[in-house]
Amino acid sequence: MDPTSLQRLVFLTSLLSCSTNQARLTVTPSSSQVFRDERVSLRCEDASDGWTVRRNTSIDNRAECEDWGRSAGSSCNISSSNTLDSGVYWCESTEGSTSNTITITVSGGSVILQSPVLPVMEGDDVTLTCRTKMADPPSADFYKDGVLIRTESDGHMTLLHVSRSDEGLYKCSVQSKGESPESRLSVSEKPRTTSSPMTSTMDPPTASSPLPASSLHLVLRVICHLVVFCPYCISTFLMVSIYRERARGSDLSVSMAMNPSTHAEQGLDDDYDDVMSAVTTEHQF
Ligand SMILES: *[C@@H]1O[C@H](CO)[C@@H](O)[C@H](O)[C@H]1NC(C)=O
Ligand SMILES: *[C@@H]1O[C@H](CO)[C@@H](O)[C@H](O)[C@H]1NC(C)=O
């Protein structure tokens, strides 16, 4: 097969694979915990029509946005959150495909821990922030899996170069105010293909979606596309080769019949060129 046809085939394949995308759920504020009465905005990104936000809570089971929020397209807002909004959220298509999940805890108390909603990448620095309702970040004790690990005077605890061993349930506690609910920090493996080192510090009020999670998402997407489109690619390749073999075979016998003597060699060359251009034209769909 000549190189340009092959290039066209690869290009077409990648075009086709872009249309089957996988949605991703993001949340604003980008924090696993919020205070009661705060606004929560959920959005399905990279989603085509028909993707909606759903949730499981203590009272809801796969409930659609219409039942608990205000929806517009593939996004959903809770204008004033309630402790009963605590639960697991995800995007789901009409065919039943699902996105990543996000766990949100709405606190009725006066202390929350702001931690990343999406898994962080191995090697990144992650900052957890302890917040009280009115005041600036106070002096706070930080706990991991129920064990006190650090006391920070400004309410921020930074974990440097996180690894799988940093995964766990975190909470914080402020003297005379009480303690936050617990939230899980997940650390995902660094994909070997990343060329530039990326760092992401969680700064909850401004960060909307941490970079590491999206690069992992990209890698997964590429793998998914390869798995889905390899059979297509291989069968197209086979069909084109078979067609070419047949066309060449029949043209060859025709030219042999017409030029039985000296011009056979010349005719074969011409016919080969014809076949090649036929194959190329066939491919400009
Ligand atoms: C939601 O709840 C249903 C029924 O309990 C369960 O099958 C499903 O796995 C839950 N989904 C998530 C994302 O937790
Ligand atoms: C949800 O809230 C965001 C701002 O937080 C706003 O831009 C968007 O229009 C809202 N969407 C709906 C459906 O209310």
Q: Residue 148 above 90 pLDDT?
A: yes
The SS3 call for residue 211 is helix
Evaluate if residue 209 carries a pLDDT over 60. Answer: no
Amino acid at 279: V
Q: Is the CB of 56 under 6 A from ligand 1?
A: yes
Contacts of 212-220 with C-beta under 8 Å, sequence gap 24+, read: 212/119, 212/120, 212/121, 212/124, 212/188, 213/100, 213/118, 213/119, 213/120, 213/121, 213/188, 214/24, 215/121, 215/191, 216/119, 216/121, 216/188, 216/191, 217/22, 217/24, 217/100, 219/191, 219/193, 220/22
> Which CATH superfamily, name and number, covers 109-189?
Immunoglobulins (2.60.40.10)
Q: Is the minimum distance from the CB of 192 to ligand 1 under 6 angstroms?
A: no
Neighbours of 184 (CB within 10 A): 12
Structure confidence by residue, pLDDT tens digits, 77-132? 999 999 999 999 999 999 999 999 999 999 999 999 999 999 999 999 999 999 99
Class of the CATH-defined domain 23-108: mainly beta
Cα gap 9→5, rounded to integer Å: 6
Whether 186 is in the pocket of ligand 2, judged by its Cβ within 6 Å, is no
On the question of pLDDT at 274 being above 60, the answer is: no
The pLDDT of residue 218 is 57
Residue nearest to atom 3 of ligand 2 (CA): 41
* Domain assignments of the chain as residue spans, ordered by start: 23-108, 109-189, 215-257
- Whether 23-108 shares its CATH topology with 109-189 is answered yes
* Nearest protein Cα to ligand 1, atom 3: 61
